[in-house]
Chains A and B, each alone.
Chain A
């Protein structure tokens, strides 16, 4: 007789090698792609509209324009969110593509290392610039 927690004849040996530890990592990663995608629609399209179309578009962008925008916490938060979400979204998407196409474990590992280091560098550098931008240089 089987018990509630160990029901039925489930002792078929696992035929394929795969991770045995329980983890919701892929679930959260899948959810994150969708949630960040939805937020990015507004952030990125809004960004492109403001920068390229609104009053004179890209012609008016110069040092003073950037300095003016980043003196407001609103645009700092906007740009920071766009940076982080786009980088994490893009990096996670590239991780998927590497898993798809790199077959050897070594190749996978090193491609991902390059990806993560590059992403980490850009995120840190971008964050640093947004917060420490000094309008009085130059």
Chain B
């Protein structure tokens, strides 16, 4: 006997026209950045990155943005979508209000270079300044450096950072004072300060005790809200403050 399918087939997904308001800036032609609107057909499960690729591929090839992995791993497509810092590749159309135009602009606080691209150098300079690598002393071990599961769990949250800059460029202190290290650099420092195999904690704490270090943080939680990896960024900063206070005061 042949089975008959009673249940109605799931309806084929349909596309909807979604409008994007993109803040464009081509330094060769534009004096000032300006907003431009584009309408593209999208499935609810499409990502904002798909929309940008459609705009670039089918409407205006001059639209410029960074992307690489497309899967929330490389950290290259952080942008301000409807006023919030997110990765374009992790933001689905169905999670946005498409009755209005969706605004897309470059992240704030870093020099705008072109369209959605900013100069990331100040961000990486702050990252490099916290010595984001394993520092050890004594002899090189002949086998791997062992660590207990608890010791590993101590800094697990901050190992997830993909250096997308969503946090740092959502920080109001960073917007007004570009000398502040910013949350991402402190997350990177936290990653090593609380690693039992590392011996450079004192050096990093000293660096973050600086005038532009952790004490500039005002605990507004913008960074935690912005992090696409769900890292508890503000908590990581507070851990560094606590380490500074109780070790040396």
Assess whether A12 is in contact with B177, with CB atoms less than 8 Å apart: no
| CB of B71 to closest CB in A, whole Å | 30
Complex formed: what's the CA distance from A42 to B72 in Å? 49
* Size bracket, chain B contacts: 20 to 34
Q: Which residue of A lies closest to B199 (CB)?
A: A7
Question: Are the CB atoms of B176 and A7 closer together than 8 Å?
Answer: no
Query: Which chain A residues (13-72) contact chain B, with CB distance < 8 Å?
Result: 14-19, 22-27, 29-31
- Asked whether any CB of chain A lies closer than 8 Å to the CB of B245, the reply is yes
- Residues of B179-222 contacting chain A, CB below 8 A: 179, 199-200, 203, 206, 209-213, 215-216
Q: Is the interface of A mostly helix, strand, loop or mixed?
A: loop
Identify A10's interface contact among B200, B216, B244, CB under 8 A: B200
The answer on a CB contact under 8 Å between B137 and A31 is no
- Name A16's contact: one of B126, B199, B203, B249 (CB within 8 Å): B126
CB neighbours (8 Å) of A22 from chain B are 206, 209
B125 close to A10 (CB less than 8 A): no
Taking CB atoms, residues of chain B closer than 8 Å to A16 are 122, 125-126, 129, 179
B11 adjacent to chain A (CB < 8 Å): no
Are the CB atoms of A8 and B210 closer together than 8 Å?
Answer: no
Count of chain A residues near B, Cβ 8 A: 27
- When distances are taken between beta carbons in the complex, the residues of chain A under 8 Å from B145 are none
B248 within 8 A of A: yes
Q: Is the CB of B200 within 8 A of A8?
A: yes
| Complex contact B129–A15 (CB within 8 A) | yes
Instruction: Give the complex CA separation of A27 and B242 in angstroms.
Output: 10
Chain B residues lying within 8 Å of A31, measured Cβ to Cβ, are 245, 249
- Counting residue pairs across A and B whose Cβ atoms lie within 8 Å, the total is 71
Most buried by B among A7, A17, A29, A31: A7
Cβ contacts under 8 Å, B126 to chain A: 15-16
Q: Is the CB of A27 within 8 A of B137?
A: no
A4→B245 contact, CB < 8 A: no
Tell whether A100 pairs with B177 under 8 Å between CB atoms, given A7-B137, A8-B200: yes
> How far apart sit A8 and B136, CA to CA, in the bound complex (Å)?
6
Say whether B211 contacts A19, CB under 8 Å: yes
User: Is A24 within 8 A of B135, CB to CB?
Assistant: no
B234 to chain A, nearest CB (A): 15
Instruction: Tell whether, in the assembled complex, residue A30 and residue B129 are in contact, meaning their CB atoms are under 8 Å apart.
Output: no
9 A-B pairs with CB atoms under 8 Å apart are: A8-B133, A10-B131, A10-B135, A19-B211, A22-B206, A24-B209, A24-B249, A26-B211, A29-B215
List 5 A-B pairs, minimum CB-CB distance, nearest first: A15-B125, A26-B215, A8-B135, A7-B137, A30-B215
Q: Which residues of A contact B (CB under 8 A)?
A: 1-4, 7-8, 10, 12, 14-19, 22-27, 29-31, 99-101, 103
Q: Using a CB–CB distance below 8 Å, which chain B residues touch chain A? A: 122, 125-126, 128-129, 131, 133-139, 173, 176-177, 179, 199-200, 203, 206, 209-213, 215-216, 241, 244-245, 248-249
